Amino acid sequence: MEETYTDKTETLVELQASLAQEDLAAVRALIEPLHPADISGLLASLPTDKRKTVFSQIPLFLTGEVLLELPESIRADLVAAMDHESIVAAAQSLDTDDIADLLPELPDEVIAQILFSLDKQDRQRLEAVLPYPEDTAGGLMDVDAITVRENITVEVVFRYLRMRGELPEGTNKLFVVDRADRLIGTLLLGPLLTSDPGMRVGQIMDHDPVKFDAMTSDKEVAAAFQRYNLISAPVVGEDGHLLGRITVDDVVDVMREEAARSVMAPAGLSEQEDIFAPVARSSRNRALWLGINLVTAVLASWVIGFFESTIEKVVALAVLMPIVASMGGNAGTQTVVLVVRGLAMGNITHGNTRRVLMKELAVGIVNSLLWAIAVAGIVLIWYRSPLLAGVIAIAMVVNLVFAALSGVLIPLALRRAGVDPAIASGVILTTVTDVVGFLAFLGLAALVLA
């Protein structure tokens, strides 16, 4: 299969034209030369009915890889429309670690058929991966790793590799183990190829490689790959036994999912959200978050209701109060984004939380004073009321300082409570800044103006 870069937009236009003409032969000819990742991208860009038509034209030897490249929601719909024999045939073309990713979404009967179709070695490899959750190093790992002993020569390693005939995909190092299969080092291919054939593996291996416990979270694995510029890394059990290896292509998938989650989560959406999902499913997925936002909006309106008589006397308050809430919301959002990112990357810890809080508080004070003066000047020119200008200036300072505090404390509190800060911080912060902003502005106005 030729693997070249494909212009998705141009190919999608051609595919849609072939579908419009119901030319399935043209559809098959268009997608067959493509990389599975390109095919999955095209499928995700099509409505559900067209998607199933195109999927039916994918060669069986590509079907398994295409399914793995798709978001879970789309993959589940397509798998549900496949017969059991086709699913088993698609799985047989995959590596054992990829089969492990696919199995949890399949019916028990199909899983049994897949396991029965594997040879003893592949079944043992699969059984080694299945006990680990998919969001751990054990769930990411590939058990097909080349191991050597430290006391053999480079020439012996060469003979062994030639006897194997090929290297596992993504191999940039061999793993050095003792007689009990405990990891004692790694051997990069570069030093192996450039060393004297008579040298021992122990002389040129890395004695202290980066390695992961099988239960290390996939986020920690991704961070380590990024920090140390890794291409592959070993996974070990509690006793140091080599279990398998993680390659950079698996880590890229984790990074891609995290990037998608950081964009989608603040809106209450899953990174697996299908833009062409049925209306009922999309409505159901979004209903909870809309309900939460309704509750927060009602709370803010309830606070405003306490000052209804004040607003009736000073109509300008109704015009100006959104400014205070909006500025507080934006200032708090800036802080929340920085703190959530710092927590995700491990830059904010128990030891430096106080320093982060004080820094953001100082920034909030500086910005609040600056913009309080600016808004007060605008109000003074607009309404020619020094009292009204003073009220909105004080309210602005109160809300922006409170927004800075909330922007730090809310994500920290959610993390401690076991809730993902990226998902819930935004809606809580908006509620806090709206309520505090309205209370400060309308409360002061009630005391000073009314």
Which whole number is the average pLDDT over 260-277? 72
CA angle 2, 5, 10 (to 5 degrees): 110
CA angle 384, 387, 392 (to 5 degrees): 95
Decide which of 286 and 270 is more confident.
Answer: 286
% the chain with pLDDT above 70: 97
Q: Give the pLDDT of residue 100.
A: 85
- At residue 1, does pLDDT exceed 60? no
pTM across the whole model:
0.74
Q: Give the pLDDT of residue 288.
A: 78
Which whole number is the average pLDDT over 277-291? 80
Give the mean pLDDT of the chain: 89
- At residue 3, does pLDDT exceed 80? no
Decide which of 274 and 106 is more confident.
Answer: 106
Query: Of 263-267, 299-303, 415-419, which range is least confident?
Result: 263-267
Name all domains of the chain by residue range, CATH numbers in brackets.
8-130 (1.25.60.10), 147-248 (3.10.580.10), 279-448 (1.10.357.20)
Q: Give the pLDDT of residue 282.
A: 78
- At residue 264, does pLDDT exceed 80? no
Give the count of beta carbons closer than 10 Å to the beta carbon of residue 123: 15
Residue 62's H or E segment, with its range, is: helix 60-69
What is d(CA 201, CA 154) in angstroms, rounded to the nearest whole number? Answer: 6
pLDDT tens across 5-29, in order?
A: 556 788 899 999 999 999 999 999 9
Which whole number is the average pLDDT over 344-359? 88
Query: Of 100-104, 145-149, 275-279, which range is least confident?
Result: 275-279
Q: What is the DSSP string of 385-413?
A: -HHHHHHHHHHHHHHHHHHHHHHHHHHHH
Residue 82, C-beta contacts closer than 8 angstroms, at least 6 positions apart: 90
User: What are the CA-CA distances from residue 268 to residues 144, 261, 282, 418, 432 (Å)?
Assistant: 38, 10, 12, 17, 18
Query: Of 57-61, 215-219, 269-273, which range is least confident?
Result: 269-273
- At residue 356, does pLDDT exceed 50? yes
Return the closest-CA partner of residue 192 out of 205, 176, 179: 205
Give residue 267's pLDDT band: very low, low, confident or very high (50, 70, 90): low
Q: Give the pLDDT of residue 443.
A: 93
Q: Give the pLDDT of residue 5.
A: 55
Q: Give the pLDDT of residue 2.
A: 46
Q: Give the pLDDT of residue 418.
A: 86
- At residue 45, does pLDDT exceed 80? yes
